[in-house]
Amino acid sequence: MHQEIFAENNPLPTAVVHATLYANHDTGMGHPESPLRYTVVVNALKKTDLYRRLLWLDPREAEESEIARCHTETYIETAKHDIQSGQGHLSTGDTAVSRWSWKPALHAVGGTFTAIDALMEGQAKNAFCIVRPPGHHATPNRGMGFCVFNNIALAARYAQHRYGIGKVLIVDWDVHHGNGTQDAFYEDDSVFFFSTHQWPWYPGTGARDETGRGRGRGTTMNRPFPAGVGRNEIVGVFGDEMRSAAERFKPELVLISAGFDSRHGDPLGHFQLTDDDFGDLTRIMLETADQFADGRVVSILEGGYNLEGLSMACKAHCRVLAEHGGLPPAFDSPPSAQTLIPPSGFDEFEW
């Protein structure tokens, strides 16, 4: 009873999953998917008025058996060996790793589980996971495109397995096609995958006629766009075709592959989305989740390589997540706030 009154008077917070170990995934000098990506996003959020109104959560580590829900045992062993042997990159593709990348990779997956637990247990209304390495290019048997394990695909499987969630909608607004996520669910009608991406561009997949196979026919929707497009095309297609597809599919959980390399000024993409546009995309997904999924949205960081642009876009994204349905009161002392202190020497990288 007390809890009901509390919930009625005070909106739940947005959970933010973070851990300084995400900066331990060292990709080498000059690599665009750098540890600073994690640091600038956390530092940017710390400087906003949202800081004490967010529920900062430490990720848990995923078990290898949980990772096997989307990846082959052979690939998991290969990735572990490649990382721990110190060879500097995955043998399966273009993903730079260091000897210290195994724990971050397990916690990038586990962080999405922590976010889903927070929603399902009523601690948070939605969540943003500031994880590294990213995940959407990792296929069931191959890490590539800076990704080791497919964090978002594993999040969908975790929600289905742990909480009996039936249908999951995954949307991907990263400038690159989420080929790994598409592969994971290409023949599965319980997960709808919707992606906007630059085309032709890395990784080369994601044509309009890739729509699923077998039972999964019709639950993959790709909307490729040429370089240079922005709000009209991307926010436009989320507002009409994605919405219509979601109305037919009726998801019980909404997951976002939140890549911010579709923002203007990114070195690895040529879309022109602004921070306000990311706010509008976020709003569309929250409204979709309100309609069918009891508001459940978990957003998972993918790309975004202009450090200033990444931090600005993440702030805009988190503000819309946090303000949706009303801001909660400020926490006196944010949980695990001490772990937000960035490694020394990183303070200059703030916006």
Q: Which is nearer to Zn ion, 66 or 261 (CB)?
A: 261
Closest separation in Å from C-beta 117 to Zn ion: 27
| Closest to 151 measured CA to CA, from 105, 88, 198, 99 | 105
Q: Which residue is nearest to Zn ion (CB)?
A: 303
Q: Strand, helix or coil at 314? A: helix
The residue from 137, 176, 177, 324 that is catalytic is 137
Distance from C-alpha of 107 to C-alpha of 132, rounded to nearest angstrom: 9
How many residues touch Zn ion (CB under 5 A)? 5
Counting beta carbons within 10 angstroms of the beta carbon of residue 32, is it exposed (0 to 12), middle (13 to 18) or buried (19 or more)?
A: middle
- Give the count of alpha carbons within 13 A of 126, CB side only: 32
List the beta bridge partners of residue 225.
Answer: 198
List the beta bridge partners of residue 50.
Answer: none
Please say whether the beta carbons of 181 and 136 come within 8 A: yes
Two tokens at 277?
Answer: 């546009």
Stretch that binds Zn ion, among 40-48, 217-225, 234-242, 252-260 (CB under 5 A): 252-260
Closest separation in Å from C-beta 25 to Zn ion: 16
Q: Which residues, numbered 259-318, are part of the site for Zn ion (CB under 5 A)?
A: 259, 261, 303
Closest separation in Å from C-beta 258 to Zn ion: 10
Q: Which is nearer to Zn ion, 136 or 315 (CB)?
A: 136
Q: Which of 33, 174, 277, 280 binds Zn ion (CB under 5 A)?
A: 174
Respond yes or no on whether the N-terminal peptide bond of residue 133 is cis (omega within 30° of 0): yes
Closest separation in Å from C-beta 37 to Zn ion: 12
List the beta bridge partners of residue 297.
Answer: 254
Q: Which is nearer to Zn ion, 53 or 137 (CB)?
A: 137
Return the residue matching tokens 């400038």. 175
Contact code string over 205-244 relative to Zn ion, x by CB under 5 A: ----------------------------------------
Active site residue 137: yes
List the beta bridge partners of residue 55.
Answer: 15
- Interface with Zn ion includes 176 (CB under 5 A)? yes
Closest separation in Å from C-beta 202 to Zn ion: 8
Q: Which is nearer to Zn ion, 203 or 236 (CB)?
A: 203
List the beta bridge partners of residue 126.
Answer: 14
Q: Which is nearer to Zn ion, 13 or 178 (CB)?
A: 178
Residues that bind Zn ion (CB under 5 A): 174, 176, 259, 261, 303
Catalytic residues: 137
